[in-house]
Amino acid sequence: MAAVPLIDVASVPPGSGAEVVADGRIFAVFNIDGVFHVLDGICPHAGGPLGKGILRGNIVTCPWHGWQFNISTGQHCLNQRLSQNRYEARIEDGKVVAEIG
Ligand code: FES
């Protein structure tokens, strides 16, 4: 496991998300009621930026063609066979840190 610092906590207020490039990858970081979630930031449909998607509750809608994912599970909302990679997230020194396996 490697700890990858992603973004300042203050940069992602509750109810928002952000796209972060770190460790040679693109991550989507979301803050739901003060709890941070980190997903692979590349939409599996056609590579859209999930971190720039529209966030409603714990559902993010990809800004390119509207695929929706449950942020808490990574599960696609319509296709049970599709799941987005999730990473354990924690706060360290004011930053959101992802644990990359
Ligand atoms: S790239 Fe995300 S829905 Fe098409």
> What confidence tens digit (pLDDT) does each residue in 24-52 have?
999 999 999 999 999 999 999 999 999 99
What ranges do the domains of the chain cover? 2-100
Q: State residue 89's pLDDT score.
A: 97
47: alpha, beta or left? (left if phi > 0; alpha if psi -120 to 50): left
% residues pLDDT > 90 (the chain): 98
Among the atoms of ligand 1, which is closest to the Cα of residue 48?
A: 1
93 CA distance to ligand 1 centroid (A)? Answer: 34
Q: How confident is the model at residue 1 (pLDDT cuts 50, 70, 90)?
A: confident
Q: Is the CB of 56 under 6 A from ligand 1?
A: no
Q: Is the CB of 72 under 6 A from ligand 1?
A: no
pTM confidence score: 0.96
Cα–Cα distance for residue pair 37/62, rounded to 1 Å: 16
Domain covering 2-100: architecture = 3-layer Sandwich (2.102)
**Whether the Cβ atoms of residue 61 and residue 52 lie closer than 8 Å to each other:** no
